[in-house]
Amino acid sequence: MRISSIRVYRLDLPLAGAGYAFAKGKRLTVADTTIVRLDTDAGLSGWGECCPLGRSYLASYPEGIRTGIGVLSVHLLGQNPTHIGALNVLMDEALEGHGYVKSAVDVACYDILGKAAGLPVHAFLGGRQHDAMPMYFSLSQDDPEVMLASAEAHWRAGYQHVQLKVGGDVAGDIERIRSIVARKDEHHLVICDANRGWRRDEAIRVVEATRDLDYVLEQPCDRYDDCLSVRRRAAQAFKLDESLKSAGDLMRAHGDDAMDIACIKISKMGGLTKARFARDYCAAAGIPMCVEDVWGGDVVTAALAHLAVSTPKNALLNTTDLHNYNTLHFAAGAPVAKNGRLYVSDEAGLGVTPDEDILGEPMAVYG
């Protein structure tokens, strides 16, 4: 089996409500996502997707994916998509870094592998280990009373985990944290995610002012060393996200005792192949994880669900249903969210079928 053509689609995903507000005043109302289709000479096709959270969240941007796939296409055409490890080596040799560019290709190869074998993708990632997975809901940064109302609504809907977007002004963030943590019960987990929005001194002020509260503190500062300094002062459990871009970052953080919880995002790691390695490292080290991705629609959500459902129960903290933060769905068979839990099917491959009438004409075709 060989890759015979590569089709690249661009799609705008409008976000629900007023959009998504997070640290440093960032707000996203429409997500620019890239969907990739790999066709083979055996008649099988595989789908992948990558969706950066705008252009200023991480060192990734939507146009970069499309340009990068054009660069990689000459190396990918004619290759066997089921030899995924070898294909990752090939991509890394052809394009240094830019793991997010390679993520959609890697995921599409798993989709083809699953379809060829008649098995779901999670069978190749460790096998199903959950009937359904706990999800968190991310509360867009807003006035404390608005965020509290949203938290309470999602608790009533069955979510046990909520994530507060903080990382703005210190006084306002302290009020946000206090107002919501005070209303949770013993079964609820509150994660306060600053998305690197505080300086070290600001993060220290927050942890000192909330030392008596039960919550998880996530990625308070931009620089790893600043996060490590805050972690050593905080009373709360500590989660790293943006600092973890590779297995090497995980190993360093583990060695430094820099985290209690890790966030494994597929495209940030460079695809399912590398995300699986990172996940398995954390599981072996006893570090619980949130298994997810940066942003995306139905294909991204299917990929993260397959990785999450194959994660050992004692290693999975939670996951999320990114496609339901958007108002546009473009594929049938996507994972289903119900009562705060995520369900993924056992259909072959990713189990999703994009609607090409919604996708429109590809913006690029190679091969």
Other CB atoms within 10 A of residue 2 CB: 14
DSSP string, 142-188: --HHHHHHHHHHHHHTT-SEEEEE--S-HHHHHHHHHHHHTT--TT-
Other CB atoms within 10 A of residue 44 CB: 19
- For residue 321, give both structure tokens: 């249903």
Q: Give me the phi and psi of 332, to 5 degrees please.
A: -85, 150
Asked if residue 239 lies in contact with residue 261, where contact means CB atoms within 8 angstroms, the answer is yes
Pair type for strands 136-139 and 261-265: unpaired
Residues 6+ apart with CB under 8 A from 128: 120, 122, 309, 310, 346
- For residue 144, give both structure tokens: 């404390």
Amino acid at 252: R
Residues carrying an active site annotation:
165, 265
Whole-number Å distance between alpha carbons of 21 and 316? 26
- For residue 262, give both structure tokens: 């890790």
Asked if residue 221 lies in contact with residue 230, where contact means CB atoms within 8 angstroms, the answer is yes
Pair type for strands 133-134 and 136-139: unpaired
SS3 139: strand
Asked if residue 37 lies in contact with residue 6, where contact means CB atoms within 8 angstroms, the answer is yes
- For residue 237, give both structure tokens: 């459990």
